[in-house]
Chains A and B, each alone.
Chain A
């Protein structure tokens, strides 16, 4: 629903979608990532998130597994099964923190899994690493 349109031209470093239904998470995270020069969208439902991934093909998706309709795992599987989205990195940032949840997230094809609460540096490390790989494989 809430889908802020960024002007992608001026921010070349990386394009990130935050898919999370909790504003308490998305607002600080968006600010943090934007301060580091990334282009950031947010989506607060599974449906919007999937739509934005297909339409705008972001480089990285920060995905809350608990997002609904469809849930995070399903979004992840769909992305992995779509060849055009092969370069899209997926990082779960989720309050589902059981070992089996993490295992399930990784099995569904995610590139990483961070449990909430996280530290900003932890997120930034993961984002940087994943986008370097993405850019590396691009070039």
Chain B
């Protein structure tokens, strides 16, 4: 309701009530009067009505003004307050409530404004922290992006549904044809009719850019490999980009920490030009060796004939000599021609991966039935025969052949025999019916592989060539059998296939993400004033022959880990047994369980300390009951010349700062109190790890006590009672 309306309602009602009371009083007064008094009063009112009327008007006006004052200094400001407060905590923390009420109301307003000041400051702090945290993340992301974009390979990461989560510049270029990077040759492939590029971007489906059949083929392959727990789990295939480039693609599964499939990484490299080069050099080598063989055959035949028939006519002998001369000239020409050509560059193979023949035949049988409605029965093959193929394109080629033979002969029942000879594998497709002419096969070789719902923009001939294979018809007319034989060389498989392991997402954040290592401020004299959360620590523990450093007890083991940027670097550790060059005490063996014989071949302390010193350089040393361990180190100072001048923090003391009421501050008790799991108790490494975890939990607790910097922590340590205990 409008404040003015509110006021009129308020004033109207107030005046109405006042008048009601006044009239009631007047009526009551009238009835109390005697009749002659009443007539006298009427008389008086009649003659002096003007005074009474003015008094009445003034009375009403006074009530009105009074009400107005109350309304403006109490009711209106109070009425506004909720709205103003709402403004402060929603849209504008800078807003303050205006002081325009009564004294009392103004006090309330002041209090509200104070709260608002406080609130604003808190919010600014939070915003600043958010910005800081964001910029860290942004920095890490940028570094990652730079590294990824410098890779020559395209990288594409998808979740299990095929949604693109990440890609680098190269991957984008492969799939969109954009030449962002000039170092990579991106000229379109010859003889290829370019097709429009698909949309490409984060969150889009990978199936928009890569044939669904190809992806599911590879995923099946990976699932098989994961189930069989083979050593390499990647799947390889070649995909043809819209501009005709040949992209060798490696699919590596991503598993979560429970080893469930949660996505895949595609690593893509462009092998177009290498393949072209290979083909050219293959052709060159073939023509060279063919030419040499031919000419050599002439030379040899002629020479052998002359030797064999010494009595041949002079004409004949001259003829043969001429052949020898001419053919030797030819060989010379061939060789010098070949030498002029550029030397061969490293070969890139079409990724041929060993697959069990039975697995592949099974898959082809299923697809033949579903896609082509023809029968394909594997008939005879060695049980553990392996085929080196690009399984997708090879299967496609076989299906393509089945379809073509069906079109040509109307045979719909095929069998298959695979057998290995010396260095080759014959892959025979057989049927009862008329044979296929070799020139028919030649025309098929020029056809692009396309089947209902499946296909590759490559010709049959290309696929055969990439497999270094040959295709030829054969027939056994007496039995009525005809067939097509794919002759495959038994090639060694790609070595990469044997080594690629699945990527497993760890439960926690991997340490190498801590990119801030790159801009550490280095050795800073103001290290004392830095926040505990920013410093680098070496958390360590020693095991000794006994508890008396002065009495000649020696270190037998040092374990240490690093804490960087408030993260435990569990992999960056120092773990070393030490030969104490003295017998172990029986009691100490009971504690650490280290036997004398296991120390005999370990380095002595004079060799170990310099390395540990190096490990701990420029860090803050942290230990539990540090005084003891520092003493052990210090005693060796004279002997080794190694001085540990690092600042030291003691978790025992820090714990007693945080929990002064607790009496027990030994490692196990603190660990239990702070909820830390300790494994490998009383090994130097196990205790160092426990201490490090403890320290990480103590830092925020110290902050609550107002201890934020190294200096504050050290000063507070000194004050605690336990600090006076000296070894």
Which residues of chain A have a CB within 8 Å of any CB of chain B? 22-25, 27-29, 31-32, 35, 66, 70, 73-74, 77, 80-81, 93, 95-101, 103-104, 107-109, 115-120
Contact = CB atoms under 8 A, between A and B. Distances in A.
Most chain A beta-carbon neighbours within 10 Å: one of B305, B468, B470: B470
B296 A100 contact: no
Interface of B: 286, 289-291, 293-302, 304-305, 308-309, 312, 316, 319-320, 323, 326-327, 330, 421-424, 426, 435, 437-439, 468-470, 472-475, 477, 485, 487, 489
B334 to A, nearest CB: 12
B199 to A, nearest CB: 43
Contacts of A118: 297, 300-301
A100 B297 contact: no
A32 B179 CA distance: 64
Q: Is the interface of B mostly helix, strand, loop or mixed?
A: helix
Contacts of A23: 298, 323
Given A24-B298, A119-B304, A104 B470 contact: yes
Contacts of B302: 24, 27-28
A101 B485 CA distance: 12
Given A95-B294, A100-B489, A116-B296, A32 B301 contact: yes
B305 A120 contact: yes
A24 B291 CA distance: 11
A8 to B, nearest CB: 23
9 contacts: A28-B305, A70-B438, A70-B439, A74-B439, A81-B475, A107-B472, A107-B487, A116-B293, A116-B294
Given A32-B304, A35-B309, 8 more contacts: A28-B301, A70-B438, A73-B438, A74-B439, A95-B290, A103-B470, A109-B475, A117-B296
B426 A103 contact: yes
A100 B469 contact: yes
Contact of B474 (A70, A109, A117): A109
A31 B435 contact: no
Q: Is the interface of A mostly helix, strand, loop or mixed?
A: helix
Contacts of A98: 286
Which 9 A-B pairs rank lowest in CB-CB distance, beginning with the nearest? A24-B298, A28-B301, A116-B297, A95-B293, A117-B296, A116-B293, A117-B297, A120-B304, A95-B290
A99 B305 CA distance: 29
Nearest to A118: B297
B123 to A, nearest CB: 76
Nearest to A86: B477
A95 B291 contact: yes
Contacts of A95: 289-291, 293-294, 297
A25 B474 contact: no
B293 A97 contact: yes
B487 A120 contact: no
A103 B421 contact: yes
A77 B473 contact: yes
Contacts of A97: 289-290, 293
Nearest to A96: B290
B305 A32 contact: yes
Contact of A108 (B300, B319, B422, B474): B474
B599 to A, nearest CB: 62
Given A95-B289, A95-B291, A29 B437 contact: no
A59 to B, nearest CB: 20
A116 B439 CA distance: 25
A27 B319 contact: yes
A81 B487 CA distance: 21
Nearest to B324: A24
B473 A108 contact: yes
Contacts of A29: 301
A99 B304 contact: no
A28 B298 contact: yes
Contacts of A93: 297
Contact of A107 (B293, B320, B422, B485): B485
